[in-house]
Amino acid sequence: MSDAPLRLEAVARRFRTEAGELPVLTGAELTLAAGEIVALVAPSGTGKSTLLHLAGLLERPDAGEVFVAGRAAGTLSDDARTAIRRTEIGFVYQFHHLLPEFTAEENVVLPQMANRTPRAAAQERARQLLASFGLAGREHHRPGRLSGGEQQRVAIARALANAPKILLADEPTGNLDTGTSDLVFGELLAAVRGQGVAALIATHNPALAARMDRVVTLRDGCIVPG
């Protein structure tokens, strides 16, 4: 599966502390197929966020390699890694991180324009995505005028705006109440499946994890079936 959207090969990451080196990942391996949605369920402090940062090229591993669409990213320049993140990878976080001074539509337009999409096409794409998440008529509201569930829908639309091949999500509904979480998560799954995106989604919620294709966890710095 050398051309898989995402492949981690023997990835290791350690951090320096006052007490010495702290190994977090010691040989993590994972392959995501196109259209596959994988739940990452592990206790806090075991390296979930570190794993997502490495997979999303926000950090470099101390050993091993991250392959995006078969391309090794470890030796690429920072500019090249940024270009891959912009075109191939979408991110969704527990807290939406929307730009408060911009409308919902503008928040979805901006990453497309950063990717040199013409404004008119970016606006049309934004409206289509927002409508698919039930936000038709809310496009011109700023985040402060949207509910928590609506804000997270905008964040998901923004992550999908550039049609990424990979979606990485860190507790994407962890800040929502149960009913809203179930609804928003269902919309996220439908959108990801509909676009054939490979997704790795960290969650503490076993009910949400059960709705995905498979579950993995972190044990002793490695990825194992959940």
pLDDT tens for the chain, residues 1 to 226 = 458 999 999 999 998 877 778 889 999 999 999 999 999 998 888 889 899 999 999 999 999 999 999 999 988 999 999 999 999 999 998 778 899 999 999 999 999 999 999 999 999 999 999 998 889 999 999 999 999 989 999 999 999 999 999 999 998 888 888 888 888 888 889 888 988 999 999 998 888 899 999 999 999 899 999 7
d(CA 155, CA 174): 14
Cα–Cα dist 176/93, whole Å? 12
DSSP 105-161: HHHHHHHHHHTT--HHHHHHHHHHHHHHTT-TT-TT--GGGS-HHHHHHHHHHHHHT
Q: What is the pTM of this model?
A: 0.90
